[in-house]
Amino acid sequence: MTDNAIISVRGLVTRFGKHTVHDGLDLDVQRGEIIGIVGGSGTGKSVLLRAVVGLLKPAEGQITVFGENVRDTSAEDYRRLRKRWGVMFQDGALFSSLSVQQNVEAPMREQLDLSDETRAALAAIKVRMVGLPENALHKMPSELSGGMRKRAGFARAIALDPEIVFLDEPTAGLDPIGAAAFDTLTAQLRSALGLTVFLVTHDLDSLHAICDRIAVLAEGRVLATGTMAQMQDVDHPWVQAYFKGPRARAALAQKEVV
Amino acid sequence: MSLTNGVFVLQGDLLIGTIDGLDLAQGQAQTIDLGGVTQLDTAGAWAVVTLERRLLAAGLSPQITGASASQTDLLAVVRANMPDATGAARARVTLADRLEQVGRGAVDVYREMLALIGFLGRVVATIFGLILHPSRIRWTAIVHHMQQTGLNAVPIVALMAFLIGVVLAFQGAAQLRQFGAEVFVVDLIAISILRELGILLTAIIVAGRSGSAFTAALGSMKMREEIDAMRTLGLDPIEVLVAPRVIALMLMLPVLGVIANFAGLFGGAIMSWIELGVSPGVFQSRLISNTDVWHLGVGLIKAPFFALIIGIVGCFEGMQVGGDAESLGRLTSTSVVLSIFLVITADAMFSIFFAIMGV
């Protein structure tokens, strides 16, 4: 446990009815790192993300982001806190009645008082940064492909230059080329904007390519944290199956070739 | 920021919340000094790059000094991603544009009407196909929709018709009393309710209740690709989804019409008794002796046609829903408005027809 942890979760317990998802979960995320959260289906990866950003009130435990408690914060503090992070949901979660440009401008419009030209220029930069063509600015979300929607969602998440970006399965449903491009994009933006990235993923290639550290969720807690190499030595059947399965070997082999 | 000796000196935090106060449109300089900048984000970098571009355009070759390594990286990223045109100017709307809009609107309405008639044809053909092959009729679905659109609508339809009967008796009494012709209130109520109001108002309520429900149900299925999935499984959405709804509505609307007629006459009778002293016995005998049964017939003949209009419009608009949630809402309201409009149009045409035929 270090002092400069940007996100710190202690003893988190979340329950849905009688079903306990997290049972005393501890996790620290350091400033500037890309942390990959992995785990089997139903181990509460997305639930953890929702708890950290305050969309879900946990039953017990403490979550601090930037040293402030997310759980028992006043509405005013929460609003201030919220400006410092961006969230990208699984399918982009773009507002379907707004164009891409309006979607990216939405957080600026809500949080800040900018002139129309400034806002439009900044939105155009963000949209180009995530690799969307300029003509995508005026398209509606329903006219975009799945990969483009995710990119637009990412652009909205970084609209206010947040310090932390939460990404929920950013590469799920993308083809390998699109997924690799998204990984590169995440790494690029991390170094350009100094982001901390909280990445919920199933994608072994993403884990290899961009994650500094990996946290494995199982049995309601964080089973292990460490680099990809350290994961190979964790003695737990699920971790072994996950990181030593045929797909993991393929991803590892590919990385060594590169 | 300040401009001294040909050097733009920027200081403090250049962040999204602070850049709006900067005046970047003035002054000439060869150097932009970022040495005093403590924090820089994309918006700040955008401001710096905009300034740099303006100086370049003025024929100068500005240098950026004093930036840290990460700030230089960020400036490079932003420079690479600057939008090409500086805000495409919004074109002015001319008279020709407005005319074009009207023209496009008219053509769209025409095309939609054609599509609606095409849809009607397909549904009618499917229903005849089902009559020839009764084993393919989905009875469970029909009964389910009969309950949804018919049985569950009985309370609201009966209450509405009852109140209309009350209103007619009340208003009619006030006028007829002047001529001492109170007893004609029975004819007034009977003819207007049986011939027109009972079935027309029932159809309007059903359009608002069930037509919108059809559009919303089919529209959300369309949005979640359920209808495409159905097609790939070899199921015809018209046969599975549309036909049961339309058939159920065509069976139930006449029933609802009869219920509305009874409730309307009942309300009228009660009000006549209270207001005019026309006893229920007198009301009944006058109703039977003076009102031709054809008045009831004329009303009920229209019911299946109204039902067909409501069902077809409701399902058609549902099938038009695209990928976004907004079109679902828009088409649901279109569905209600269009079906009520078409029901009233059809009613007017029936009136003319029956008048010419002398029924």
pLDDT at residue B349 greater than cutoff 90: yes
Q: Which two tokens stand for residue A186?
A: 């995440």
User: Scanning the structure block, which residue is given the tokens 């097609």?
Assistant: B231
Q: Show residues of chain B in contact with A141, CB under 8 Å.
A: 324
pLDDT band at B29 (very low <50, low <70, confident <90, very high): confident
Nearest residue of A to residue B42, measured between CA atoms:
A161
* pLDDT band with cut points at 50, 70 and 90 for residue A142: confident
DSSP state at residue B25: S
Question: Other C-beta atoms within 10 Å of B355: how many?
Answer: 9
Give the burial class of A224: count Cβ atoms within 10 A of its Cβ; 0-12 exposed, 13-18 middle, 19 or more buried. middle
Q: Do residue A161 and residue B15 have CB atoms under 8 angstroms apart?
A: yes
Best mutation target, B39, B48, B77, to test chain A (most A CBs within 10 A)? B77
Dihedral class, residue A42 (left if φ above 0, else alpha if ψ from -120 to 50, else beta):
left
B90 pLDDT band, cuts 50/70/90, is: low
Q: What one-character DSSP code corresponds to residue A17?
A: T
Query: Cβ of A135 under 8 Å from any chain B Cβ?
Result: no
The least confident of B21-30, B126-135, B158-167, B270-279 is B21-30
Please answer yes or no on whether A128 and B83 come within 8 Å at the CB atom. yes
How far is Cα A64 from Cα A66, in angstroms, rounded to an integer? 7
Instruction: Of A202, A250, A233, give the one whose Cα is nearest residue A37.
Output: A202
Task: Judge whether A246 and A256 are in contact, CB under 8 Å.
Answer: no
| Chain B residues in contact with A158 (beta carbon < 8 A) | 42
Name the closest residue on chain B to residue A118, using Cα atoms: B20
Q: Is A165 on the interface with B (CB under 8 A)?
A: no
The one-character DSSP state at B92 is P
Are the CB atoms for B53 and B78 separated by under 8 Å? no
Lowest mean pLDDT: which of A180-184, A242-246, B104-108? A242-246
Q: What pLDDT does A217 receive?
A: 85
For chain B, say whether A117 makes contact (Cβ under 8 Å): yes
User: Alpha-carbon distance A42 to A49, whole Å?
Assistant: 13
The length of chain A in residues reads 258
| Three-state SS at A61 | strand
B200 pLDDT higher than 80: yes
ipTM exceeds 0.85, yes or no: no
**Is A172 touching B (CB cutoff 8 A)?**
no
Q: Is A134 on the interface with B (CB under 8 A)?
A: yes
Cβ contacts (< 8 Å) between B86 and chain A: which residues? 121
Residues of B with CB under 8 A from a CB of A: 15-17, 19-20, 41-43, 46, 50, 70, 73-74, 77-78, 81-84, 86-87, 322-326
Q: Do A160 and B78 touch (CB under 8 A)?
A: no
Q: What is the pTM of this model?
A: 0.65
- Spatial separation of the C-alpha atoms in residues B190 and B268, rounded to whole Å: 9
pLDDT at A1: 44
Q: How far is A93 from chain B (nearest CA, A)?
A: 12
Residues 6+ apart with CB under 8 A from B358: none
Specify the pLDDT at position B87.
Answer: 47
> What mean pLDDT value characterizes chain A?
81
Cβ neighbours around A106 below 10 Å, total: 16
Chain A residues in contact with B322 by the CB 8 A cut-off are 142
